[in-house]
Amino acid sequence: MWQGKTSIPPKKYEKWATPAPPEYSGGIGEKGEKLLASMVKAGKILVFMEESCNYAVNKLKIPVTNIMEENSQVVCPGSFLRAEVKESPLTLGMDRSAAVFFRSTPTFETRMPRGADENRATPLVFGERDLLLSGWLNGEEQLLRKSLMVDFRRGKGRIILIGPDVIHRTHGEGTYKLMFNSLLAAAEE
């Protein structure tokens, strides 16, 4: 998919792409942002995956930073990395470690929550060393002990961030459970 703020692809891709109709272009805007914030306030669960996590971090003002947004020290063009799996309802059925496909994947550093009604958990994190399972990785030290998944709670609501693309064709089969467990948590509400 092309990158940019318009729904018009670059000239070289025009013959393969049809722009979306105007009513489906341009994002959710301020109205959608307010709706999402009100959903969390009402006790709903929002699940964000891969690049959409940046929207949650920036617009919903949660105490999380995606270290990959401006980190040019990590070079990993598509490799499997080892992550530690912590006990959580979001990691049910998973082994204690998982192979995660990593390609400039959103990777999180959390801060202390600001309010008394906020808390966070990090059910999927990189370990202290030897992350590379298969492929190529430079800048491993930047990823050590960083989180790939954040379960943030504000009041009765939850925001779940899943950094890796756990459902794409390059997934590690064990990571599907992260998405399904997150959806099950949302369905139980």
Instruction: Measure the CA dihedral 4/10/14/17, to 10°.
Output: -20
What mean pLDDT is predicted for residues 14-38?
A: 83
Tokens coding 138? 């430079």
Backbone phi, psi, residue 101, to 5°: -75, 125
The neighbour count for residue 54, using CB atoms within 10 Å, is 15
All domains in the chain, ordered by first residue: 18-188 (3.40.50)
Question: Could you tell me the pTM of the whole model?
Answer: 0.85
Is residue 189 over pLDDT 70? no
Q: What does the mean pLDDT of the chain come to?
A: 87
pLDDT for the residue 11 = 75
CB neighbours of 98 closer than 8 A, spacing ≥ 6?
82, 83, 85, 124, 172, 174, 175
What mean pLDDT is predicted for residues 145-149?
A: 96
pLDDT for the residue 52 = 92
d(CA 37, CA 1): 28
